[in-house]
Amino acid sequence: MTDFPKKARALGLCSGGLDSILSALLLKKQGIAVTWVAFETPFFNADKAKQASALTGIPLIVREITDTYMEMLKNPRMGYGKNMNPCPDCHTLMFNLAGKIADEQGFDFLFSGEVLGQRPMSQNLSALNYVAKNSGYRDKILRPLSAKKLAPTQPELQGLVDREGLLDFSGRSRKSQMALAKEMGIEQYPTPAGGCLLTDEGFGRRLKDLLAHEGQNPATRRDLVLLQHGRHFRINSATKVIAGRNKAENATLAALADPAIDSIVRPAAPGPMVFVPNKGDLDGIQTAAAIFAAYSKAAIGQSLAVTVLTPQGEVVVPLTCPDREDFHNFLL
Ligand code: SF4
């Protein structure tokens, strides 16, 4: 192996999966000081990266990036995947942010555990090139597991990394990774990622609706977190109603609701937690009361007076308990 002029420092994107671990250990084996970075938004978190860091002892930087991420998510250059997942532009942004951290903290290059052709859409050659080119750090991005299938990168040409010690993995099979894990003595590792809510169809539908109705008030982090919980009903452009589906969701929604800005149904009978985020209009508030009744233990046709606490005061809505089916078309 070549003698290197100095101990190189590399910063890697970490999903927490086996490929992240193998790529980092491969560099570490060459005497390179590796650190990971993982990003958090309401759509994905760094939990698995933290597990991988605890398992390997590789230091991890965690950054919350919701605001920056939302700017990209509203208009990704390459559009969305099957749902609201903008994978190529998401990776591009992550490498861009990692590159800025590398600049600030003196890392020599960036790396990731991506394997050429492993995911047909996001890890084919043109997607890898798109990400590298548009991240602003094209020459500094190394993919150690597939390096020998790709053109030599700057860290290799500069002698910071020994290309001979890198690999030529490609394709969807995981056999090579499993064999390498065995060789490196890695028996435990976090289960494959898959925790990105943007790839979920229902979540994507609710997110799309939220973005389409932002109006003057951009979606807040809380609005995004709410998309994970409860049934969501779009009533009109100003109003959405959220109703808990079970005890746990009721408790989560109760903790997220804010009487200073939301209209919250006060239960008139045993029933779900129902509220209108960001107040809503009178029509929406009345519909929230009716949705509460429909999903409560009240019988269809029963007379009820449902009170809704709005930021401006109480609104009492007298109603006859409707059928849940009446709201089916409002469901997101
Ligand atoms: S699955 Fe989610 S986190 Fe992963 S690249 Fe796509 S959008 Fe980004």
Is residue 279 one of the residues assigned to a domain? yes
Residue 307 confidence (pLDDT): 96
Nearest CA to ligand 1 atom 3: 196
SS3 126: helix
Residue 190 confidence (pLDDT): 73
Residue 5 confidence (pLDDT): 56
- Asked whether the beta carbons of 52 and 38 are under 8 A apart, the reply is no
Tally of domains within the chain:
2
Tell me the backbone φ, ψ of residue 13, rounded to 5 degrees.
-70, 135
pTM metric for this prediction: 0.90
Closest ligand 1 atom, CA of 81? 6
299, 164: one domain: no
160, 267: one domain: no
- Asked whether the beta carbons of 110 and 11 are under 8 A apart, the reply is yes
The H or E element containing residue 206 is helix 201-212
193, 263: one domain: no
Ligand 1 lined by 197 (C-beta under 6 Å): no
193, 281: one domain: no
Residue 196 confidence (pLDDT): 94
Residue 215 confidence (pLDDT): 75
pLDDT below 70 — which residues of the chain? 1-5, 192-194
Q: What is the pLDDT of residues 291-321, one digit of tens each?
A: 999 999 999 999 999 999 999 999 999 999 9
Write out the two tokens for 125: 């050659």
DSSP letters, 62-84, are EEE-HHHHHHHHHS-TT---SSS
44 CA distance to ligand 1 middle (Å): 8
The domain containing residue 21 runs over which residues? 9-197
Distance of alpha carbon 145 from alpha carbon 165, whole angstroms: 10
Domain final residue, candidates 147, 182, 197: 197
In this structure, what CATH number is given to the domain that contains residue 26?
A: 3.40.50.620
DSSP letters, 265-306, are EEPSSS---EEETT---HHHHHHHHHHHHHHSSSPTT-EEEE
SS3 199: helix
Is residue 233 one of the residues assigned to a domain? yes
Closest ligand 1 atom, CA of 86? 7
Domain final residue, candidates 151, 182, 197: 197
20 CA distance to ligand 1 middle (Å): 15
Residue 192 confidence (pLDDT): 64
Ligand 1 lined by 196 (C-beta under 6 Å): yes
51, 152: one domain: yes
79, 30: one domain: yes
Residue 279 confidence (pLDDT): 87
Ligand 1 lined by 132 (C-beta under 6 Å): no
- Asked whether the beta carbons of 288 and 241 are under 8 A apart, the reply is yes
Residue 16 confidence (pLDDT): 92
- Asked whether the beta carbons of 241 and 275 are under 8 A apart, the reply is yes
73, 14: one domain: yes
Write out the two tokens for 210: 């939220």
